[in-house]
Amino acid sequence: MTVVEHVPCKAIMNTSVPGVLFQSLAVFLVNIIAITDGITLGWTAPLIPYLISDESHIKMTIHEAEMIETWLLYGAITGLPITMLLVDKIGRKKSVLVSCCVLAVCWILVAVATNVSLIYGARFVMGLGLNMAYVAMPMYVGEISHKNIRGLLSSFTFIFMLLGVLIIYCVGPYFSYYVPPIISITLLIIQFVGFIFMPESAYYLLSKGKEEDAKASLSKFRNNIGVEEEFAEMKETNEKNKTEQGRIQDIFLVRSYRKAILIMLFLNLSQLLSSYEILLMNLHNILETAESNYISPSIVGIVFSAVTLIAAVSAATVIDRFGRKILMIISSFLTALCLLAVSVYFHMKYLEYDLSHISWLPTVAVMAYAVSFKFGLGIVPIVLTSEIFAPKMKAIGMTLADGMYVVSSIGALQLYFFLRDAYGIHVPFYLFSFCTFLAGPYVWLFVPETKGKTLDEIQNVLKEPRILMIGRRG
């Protein structure tokens, strides 16, 4: 199997990777929507304190404010059938453009909202739009990227999302309620205007019988270098896929598809049960509960998002050098330790110990969590999502994986609220620490290494009868 020898951060500017600049431009433009996703996900953390305050122009209770988080996820799960249909019917590119328009309208509704019901409605439809984007974006990036930098380019989705979180954490507590919608709408307009001129994925065009358009697309993304050989491989793969119907039941009946969906199910569960989205949406309230004497929750939120962004960028530069598995394994163990530290602190606080001398511990643990999570658990699953599904099954497989992610998000969020209110905030964090620890052994045993492999080579690995992936090299 092919092994990547060069360092990915150099590869992005290395002419030995054909068409790297045009691929990078396309990936940059398609991922602008991920910045608005970060703003959307992080919006509740700094805004809920305002929305439940006496100064809010929209009166709501703490329960109504917390439901804002859940309505986004309800919209995402409702949009699954639409997403599954559109990404294959109109293509990856047009699906992203549709998402841009939907999200822009939703942010306008948030800006003009005068009651909580309108915010619920806007967040629900935002979930629909983001669901479509998060299926179409990884498909597009995975299909246009050269295999030597596919891991790096696929990482940009989460990096841009984290940039959005940093923006909302910087803006939310200190600026007007109307500033985040203005920023998001502006970004979406920029993306629509820029991305509309990018070519559609050659894989998608070839699957629709548009051979000349597919070759033209590949030529642009490879700068006319090595196109004939790669296009011949793509045609061969496409011919194989024509014998497969791409039915939903094939996900469970065909060994390689079944392996892929089970891997994504577990990785998505690992991500969510490591509590990242819960921290993202509730960080300010969690830190206020910790009663730190050293730094305000708003400042911690900004530093947390900045550290997370730096960690994700660092991970992106090494993911094609060291591989996906080792990053995931190390990340799961270190992240579990960080969550355990938070759990123990809140447990001692629950037992009414005097913790004034270590009130810094939750802040430090959260910062360490930001680094350890984003160096593996937070970035590898999105890369694998773009790699492990066969072209014929990408729409179905990635939509189902996304649906599992959303359902798990709702479950994890509601589980957190229930355990926090019923038994104390330390209990859900103990659970999250244990679940995160389990991710390491699972990845070691069952997840194949995809570093340096073409999409067709990855499918060949998944088709093998072996279940355990230990001992498999590059």
Query: How is residue 115 annotated by DSSP?
Result: S
- Residues 202-230: pLDDT tens digits? 988 988 889 999 999 999 998 888 888 88
Distances (CA, A) of 456 to 157, 213, 395: 23, 21, 17
338 located within any domain: yes
Task: For residue 347, name the pLDDT band (cuts at 50, 70, 90).
Answer: very high
> Can you give the residue range of the structural domain that contains 344?
8-198+244-463
What are the backbone angles phi and psi of residue 224, rounded to the nearest 5°?
60, 25
Task: Kindly state whether residue 228 falls inside one of the protein's structural domains.
Answer: no
Q: Is residue 208 part of a domain?
A: no
pLDDT bin (cut points 50, 70, 90) of residue 2 is very low
Can you give the pLDDT at residue 468?
Answer: 60
User: What predicted TM-score, i.e. pTM, was given to this entire model?
Assistant: 0.73
Q: Give the sign of the dihedral formed by CA 384, CA 313, CA 133, CA 109.
A: positive
Q: Is the pLDDT reported for residue 9 higher than 50?
A: no
Residue 290: strand, helix, or coil: helix
In tens, the pLDDT along 159-187 reads 898 899 899 989 988 888 899 999 999 99
460 confidence band (pLDDT: 50, 70, 90): confident
pLDDT 10s digits, 228-258: 888 888 888 777 766 655 667 777 778 888 8
Residue 121 falls within a domain, yes or no?
Answer: yes
CB-side exposure of 357: number of CA atoms within 13 Å? 2
pLDDT above 80 for 189: yes
Is 136 within the bounds of a domain? Answer: yes
Is residue 295 one of the residues assigned to a domain?
Answer: yes
Q: Does residue 237 lie in a domain region?
A: no
- What's phi and psi for 179, nearest 5 deg? -70, -45
pLDDT tens digits along 46-94: 888 888 888 888 888 888 888 888 898 889 888 888 888 888 889 999 9
Indicate whether 143 belongs to any domain. yes
8: helix, coil or strand?
helix
CATH number, domain of 251, equals: 1.20.1250.20
Domain count, the chain: 1
pLDDT digits (tens, 9 = 90+) for 387-427: 888 777 777 777 777 777 778 888 888 899 899 989 999 99
